[in-house]
Amino acid sequence: MDTKKIWENLGGHNFRIPSDRQDKVYAQIKENSKGDFDFFILTVFSTIIITLGLIIDSGAVIIGGMLIAPMVWPVFMMSLAILMGRSRIFERSLFTLAKSTIVIFLVALVIGFLVPSTVLQSQEILARINPTLFELAIALASGFVGAFIVSYPKLGSAMAGVVVAAALVPPLAVTGLTVSQNNMEAAGGSLLLFFSNLIAITFASGVLFLIARFRGPATAEGKEVRKVNIRWFLVLLIVVLIPLFLITKQTLIDSERQQLVASVLNSEMPTAQITEVQITEENDFIVVNATLRSEDNLTKWQVTKLTEILSRSFKQSVVLKITVVPVMEAGKLVPPIETSSTIDINSTSSDVH
């Protein structure tokens, strides 16, 4: 089967870029990816804007910083160098990218030291410490469409910077912020997100450049270098898929469990508002911490009943801890109560604390 012919019949020829346009795109990417003074000034100030946007939980400010972030260019240059088999250009763009990464991390780290830890709990920050396969899919799409925008003259290249910077600079800034607060678990999550996005964007942009027929020197050495580089990035992409798959699987399990807990609690207290549900596993049992806003308190009998239901649903012993936050009604304040219960599904009795 002729895959090339099939691709052409599917409209693949529409992606083809004339050689004169290829030269312009290559020159533009090469010029903008230089690690000169202008490049790093833009990197520093875009990082400041994006980091402050993360702290104040403002998507508009973060996008504003992305408009001037130049990190897209060395990434695209690296992608083209891989495709064209140009080792020196690849090393140069990788070095520029490494310096940019260090600068972004250090700027965010300094800002993190200057602000109180209480402000580092925004949703924009929390959204970037638990990467999943969904973020990887977004990065793949970002890399492809970013390269598409740069390669075609009718589209503004600034848009490509926003698309790619959205996947790279914020997670790296979150890494600096979380390290400043000695939260290494969160820093590890955001750093994994950054590297997985970087690999995905490089790979996806390379796919676009490939189908657009960007070609390097047709020498045997150039072809061999290209093959080696592509193999390495495929290996790296597979490597990052493993932890992302495990995290995604656990995230989906946690989401299903939280929905189950919310459903069980609502069945017993339909008028209560569930504000928080946290589920952890300890040894052979599951610990459920739930916070409710309600006019009425739960009795120990109700907690025991809820524990039994959850134990049967989870098929595992459950420790249920519920905090009821009182609400005012007609001038009457109900005192708060924190109740917990544990039950072993292998026995016929339960202990109430």
- The arithmetic mean of pLDDT across residues 272-286, rounded, is 82
Average pLDDT value over all residues in the chain: 81
Structure-derived torsion over alpha carbons of residues 30, 36, 37, 41, reported in degrees to the nearest 10: 50
pLDDT at 333: 52
The percent of residues in the chain predicted with pLDDT above 70, rounded, is 84
- Find out whether 105 and 176 touch, Cβ atoms under 8 Å: yes
* Residue-range domain boundaries for the chain: 3-251, 269-352
User: What is the tens place of the pLDDT at every residue in 48-73?
Assistant: 999 999 999 888 899 888 888 888 89
Residues ≥6 apart with Cβ < 8 Å to 173: 47, 50, 51, 54, 104, 107, 108
* 8-22, 170-184, 309-323: which is most confident: 170-184
pLDDT at 272: 79
Q: Both tokens of residue 261?
A: 């807990």
Task: Determine phi and psi for 293, rounding to 5 degrees.
Answer: -110, 120
Helix, strand, coil shares of the chain, percent, nearest 5, are 65, 10, 20
What amino acid occupies position 289? N
What amino acid occupies position 220? A
> What span, in angstroms and rounded, lies between the C-alpha atoms of 66 and 166?
7
Give 156's pLDDT tier (boundaries 50, 70, 90).
low
> What span, in angstroms and rounded, lies between the C-alpha atoms of 301 and 299?
5
Give 352's pLDDT tier (boundaries 50, 70, 90).
very low
Looking at the chain, how many residues does it have?
353
Residue 69: beta bridge partners?
none
* Predicted confidence (pLDDT) at residue 313 exceeds the cutoff of 80: yes
Within 13 Å of residue 159, how many CA atoms lie on the same side as its CB?
13
Q: Which residues of 304-334 are buried (b: 16+ CB within 10 A; e: fewer)?
A: bbbbbbbbeebeebbbbbbbbebbeeeeeee
Give 34's pLDDT tier (boundaries 50, 70, 90).
confident
User: What is the tens place of the pLDDT at every residue in 197-214?
Assistant: 999 999 898 888 888 878
